[in-house]
């Protein structure tokens, strides 16, 4: 009875908040006690306990990092929560990072949302540099994104540009939402190339809830995520509902891809002159490279990236994790 009364009086949120702060403080103290080795790190601005330099990024990280670079130089060390990070702000040094030492720094951090949406990061964007990633890259270069394949879909781009111009003309003289029209154009091109389907015709976007899924997908991949900067506190996403949103969006996309794959595997389906990306990937899977065969989840992960990849997956996608090794 006493416990129920305690919950009714609203002490639970305060208790959870205090528990989170306590865990963070203990982690910080433990990290400080275990840090015995000294590293020759780049210059770094002053940092605060627990959050490190997160407060110095502001609402526009690229501008904040530019100002820090002017003060501390082209290579800066930042402690973003629990994640040690090196930021490069020079073309010359960036060449060293991306070309000379690309193998050591080529793996992208696996953000919390990507692990749930991209089939445990088995896509080509978040998959760590490995034999598997090289295999995916080979498939993309030779099968999906070759000059011949891209050129074969030129008619799709021409038709969709004409449709976009027609939409703009139809809206005259009323104000035109160009952002929405351009977004619809991009989605139409990608869906026709990737899935072989025109989802904007006949209300297909609304029928499948595809547009809503895409919007939710972009929201979940962007923005600030506690788990990305405090990996030891990923449990917070379960409390805030973030994890359940990710799982729900993943299930919807997975169900949608199951339908797309089922359509493409239907023996009675009309064979198109130009194979879409799903056709190509299913063909690659059926051929089956003996050394590294693709699973259906691998195929769906590649489809997801090919079908709709936001240009900004994370506000910190231009930073590299610092590895002591």
User: Highest-confidence range of 96-110, 251-265, 287-301, by mean pLDDT?
Assistant: 251-265
Is pLDDT above 90 for 207? no
Are residues 92 and 151 part of one domain? no
Helix H segments across 236-295?
A: 236-240, 242-265, 277-287
Q: What's the CA gap between 244 and 247, in Å, rounded? A: 5
**Is residue 321, in this structure, part of any structural domain at all?**
no
pLDDT at 79: 92
pLDDT at 69: 92
Are residues 196 and 49 part of one domain? no
Is pLDDT above 50 for 256? yes
Are residues 59 and 180 part of one domain? no
pLDDT at 45: 92
* The residue to which tokens 């993943």 are assigned: 250
Domain end, chosen from 91, 106, 121, is at 106
End-to-end CA distance of the chain: 54
Q: Give the domain CATH number at 161.
A: 1.10.630.10
pLDDT at 77: 94
pLDDT at 70: 92
Q: How many domains does the chain have?
A: 2
Q: What's the CA gap between 283 and 251, in Å, rounded? A: 25
Is pLDDT above 70 for 314? no
Q: What's the CA gap between 87 and 94, in Å, rounded? A: 10
Least confident segment among 6-15, 27-36, 157-166: 6-15
Helix H segments across the chain?
A: 2-8, 11-34, 61-72, 91-95, 102-105, 112-117, 131-139, 147-152, 154-171, 178-194, 204-208, 210-221, 226-229, 236-240, 242-265, 277-287, 296-307
Is pLDDT above 60 for 318? no
Where does the pLDDT of residue 265 fall: very low under 50, low under 70, confident under 90, or very high at 90 and above? Answer: confident
Strand partners, 88: 75
Are residues 207 and 272 part of one domain? yes
Where does the pLDDT of residue 97 fall: very low under 50, low under 70, confident under 90, or very high at 90 and above? Answer: confident
Are residues 146 and 45 part of one domain? no
Helix H or strand E encompassing 83: strand 83-88
Q: How many CA atoms lie within 13 A of 286 on its CB side?
A: 9
Are residues 251 and 161 part of one domain? yes
Task: Determine the structural domain holding residue 77 and report its residue range.
Answer: 41-106
Handedness of CA 133, 87, 35, 38 (dihedral sign): positive
**Is residue 114, in this structure, part of any structural domain at all?**
no
Are residues 255 and 214 part of one domain? yes
pLDDT at 310: 38
Helix H or strand E encompassing 71: helix 61-72
pLDDT at 76: 93
* The residue to which tokens 């208790």 are assigned: 15
pLDDT at 212: 77
**Is residue 215, in this structure, part of any structural domain at all?**
yes
Is pLDDT above 50 for 117? yes
pLDDT at 208: 61
> Treating both helix axes as pointing N-terminal to C-terminal, what angle do 178-194 and 154-171 enclose, rounded to 10 degrees?
150
pLDDT at 7: 41
pLDDT at 71: 92
**Is residue 88, in this structure, part of any structural domain at all?**
yes
DSSP state of 233: G
**Is residue 116, in this structure, part of any structural domain at all?**
no
Are residues 163 and 99 part of one domain? no
Mean of the pLDDT values across residues 181-185? Answer: 85
pLDDT at 202: 56
pLDDT at 5: 43
In Å, the largest CA–CA distance within the chain is 72
Are residues 210 and 67 part of one domain? no
Helix H or strand E encompassing 78: strand 75-80
Where does the pLDDT of residue 3 fall: very low under 50, low under 70, confident under 90, or very high at 90 and above? Answer: very low
Taking only the tens place, the pLDDT of each residue in 40-87 is: 888 999 989 888 998 898 888 889 999 999 999 999 999 998 889 999
Are residues 302 and 214 part of one domain? yes
Handedness of CA 273, 276, 280, 282 (dihedral sign): negative
Least confident segment among 30-39, 60-69, 108-117: 30-39
Least confident segment among 1-15, 179-193, 259-273, 297-311: 1-15
Are residues 145 and 102 part of one domain? no
Least confident segment among 3-7, 112-116, 141-145: 3-7
pLDDT at 325: 34
Tokens of 177: 């939402």
pLDDT at 18: 52
Mean of the pLDDT values across residues 109-134? Answer: 87
Are residues 136 and 89 part of one domain? no
**Is residue 68, in this structure, part of any structural domain at all?**
yes
Tokens of 32: 């400080």
pLDDT > 90: what percent of the chain?
Answer: 11
Is pLDDT above 90 for 221? no
């Amino acid at each position: 009875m006493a416990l129920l009364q305690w919950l009714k009086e609203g002490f639970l949120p305060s208790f959870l908040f205090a528990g989170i702060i306590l865990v963070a403080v203990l982690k910080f103290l433990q990290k400080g006690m275990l840090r015995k080795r000294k590293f020759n790190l780049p210059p770094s601005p002053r940092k605060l306990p627990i959050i490190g330099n997160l407060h110095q990024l502001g609402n526009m990280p690229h501008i904040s990092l530019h100002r820090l670079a002017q003060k501390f130089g082209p290579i800066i060390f930042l402690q973003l929560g629990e994640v040690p990070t090196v930021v490069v702000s020079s073309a010359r040094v960036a060449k060293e990072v991306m070309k000379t030492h690309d193998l050591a720094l080529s793996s992208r951090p696996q953000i919390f949302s990507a692990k749930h949406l991209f089939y445990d990061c088995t896509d080509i964007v978040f998959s760590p540099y490995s034999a598997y990633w090289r295999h995916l890259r080979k498939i993309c270069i030779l099968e999906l994104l070759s000059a011949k394949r891209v050129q074969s879909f030129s008619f799709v781009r021409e038709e969709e540009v004409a449709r976009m111009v027609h939409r703009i003309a139809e809206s005259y003289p009323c104000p035109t939402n160009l952002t929405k029209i351009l977004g619809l154009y991009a989605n139409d091109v990608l869906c026709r190339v990737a899935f072989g389907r025109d989802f904007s015709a006949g209300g297909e976007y609304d029928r499948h809830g595809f547009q809503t899924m895409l919007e939710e997908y972009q929201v979940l991949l962007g923005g600030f995520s506690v788990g990305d900067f405090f990996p030891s506190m990923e449990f917070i996403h379960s409390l805030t509902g973030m994890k359940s949103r990710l799982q729900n969006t993943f299930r919807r996309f997975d169900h949608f891809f199951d339908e797309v794959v089922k359509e493409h595997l239907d023996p009675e389906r009309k064979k198109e002159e130009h194979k879409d990306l799903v056709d190509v990937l299913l063909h690659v899977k059926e051929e089956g490279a003996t050394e590294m065969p693709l699973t259906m989840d691998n195929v769906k992960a590649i489809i997801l990236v090919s079908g709709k990849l936001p240009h900004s997956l994370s506000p910190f996608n231009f930073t590299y994790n610092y590895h002591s090794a």
